Amino acid sequence: MFRGLSAFPLTPVDEDGVDLTAYAALVARLAGAGVDSIGALGSTGGYAYLTREQRARVAEAAVDAASGTPVMVGIGALRTRDVLALAEDAQNAGAAAVLLAPLTYQPLGDDEVFGLYEDVTHHLSVPLCVYDNPATTHVRFSDELHARIAALPHIGSVKIPGVPTGAEDRVAALRALLPASVALGVSGDWTAVRGLNSGCDVWYSVLGGTFPRTALALTRAAQSGHADHANDLSDALEPLWALFRRHGSLRVMAAAASHLGLTGEVNLPRPLRGLDAEQRREVVAVLDALGLDE
């Protein structure tokens, strides 16, 4: 399942709870567009802000609405014990894979990060994607740590942050470290095309969670060896990438989903706040200019 476009939808949530109806429609829309997999409860899906019960309901809704498109479910939590419970819930919901970032409060040493993956993979029966996201976890994966973890059973993929420069060298270096069975996936949407063109197997995509056709066009161009065309498609999205960099991709996609009527206006949990009225107008102007109304 770790190939092509993995689309990460929002989980619409406000102070009253998760809007499961809107969520199921978001997921069904991605499956209908033909994405290769769905990343439920990723960072864009706000997993860190939801209770175990909410996450179980969201995982079930995702698998149901995906109608056979494989669903990967985020199981990250600060405590190993909670991660194990979330892994069980995700598997019971029918997840084809799980996604695990090493959340931190106390900074973790490499042995502690490794120990987390060792404890969790010991109890898994589906593949796990290692989620390397220093912007949210503040864990810096060394190459040695990546290699140690990737040698554990059930490791199916590594999701790396964006590679703004030196993508070819970075991808080649990681490839040399990881078992051939471990798929390499790129995130950081605005430079993702560089990862894809450098041989990453999959794009773990925020854009794809709300604009699956646009993200698919880019992914298919890169997969079929049309690197220049893929680059052009990514370059054309630069006004949107600029908004991602300025506000964070989550807040921009939350504003876009609300504008498209896919969710209510409030769709992020406090303390996160949606963009203000002027920022939303900017987002809408960019979507209009790019023809992003799918």
Bond from prior residue into 212 cis (ω within 30 degrees of 0): no
Is 43 among the residues that bind its own copies (CB under 8 A)? yes
Among 32, 122, 135, 153, binds its own copies (CB under 8 A): 135
Q: Which stretch binds its own copies (CB under 8 A): 19-27, 113-121, 188-196, 278-286?
A: 113-121
CA–CA distance, 88 with 74 (Å, rounded to integer): 12
Is 110 among the residues that bind its own copies (CB under 8 A)? no
Among 3, 248, 284, 290, binds its own copies (CB under 8 A): 248
Among 10, 62, 65, 103, binds its own copies (CB under 8 A): 103
C-alpha distances in Å from residue 256, one per residue of 2, 121, 184: 27, 36, 29
CA–CA distance, 57 with 69 (Å, rounded to integer): 18
Cβ distance to its own copies smaller for residue 81 or 213: 81
C-alpha distances in Å from residue 247, one per residue of 162, 270, 273: 17, 16, 11
CA–CA distance, 280 with 266 (Å, rounded to integer): 12
In the bound complex, what is the minimum distance in angstroms from residue 46's beta carbon to its own copies? Answer: 8
Is 278 among the residues that bind its own copies (CB under 8 A)? no
Angle at 180 between CA 132 and CA 70, to 5 degrees: 65
Phi, psi (deg, nearest 5) at residue 131: -105, 100
Among 3, 24, 25, 49, binds its own copies (CB under 8 A): 49
Cβ distance to its own copies smaller for residue 213 or 245: 245
Is 165 among the residues that bind its own copies (CB under 8 A)? no
Q: Which stretch binds its own copies (CB under 8 A): 165-173, 204-212, 263-271, 285-293?
A: 263-271
Q: Would residue 23 show up in a list of annotated catalytic residues for this protein?
A: no
In the bound complex, what is the minimum distance in angstroms from residue 32's beta carbon to its own copies? Answer: 28
Q: Would residue 131 show up in a list of annotated catalytic residues for this protein?
A: yes
Is 277 among the residues that bind its own copies (CB under 8 A)? no
Which region, left, alpha or beta, applies to residue 68 given φ > 0 means left and ψ of -120 to 50 means alpha? left
Angle at 197 between CA 194 and CA 202, to 5 degrees: 90
Check 23, 47, 117, 159 and give the catalytic one: 159
Is 58 among the residues that bind its own copies (CB under 8 A)? no
Question: Which stretches of the chain bind its own copies, using CB under 8 A?
Answer: 15, 43, 48-49, 78-81, 102-109, 111-113, 115-116, 119, 135-136, 138, 248, 250, 269-273
Catalytic residues: 131, 159
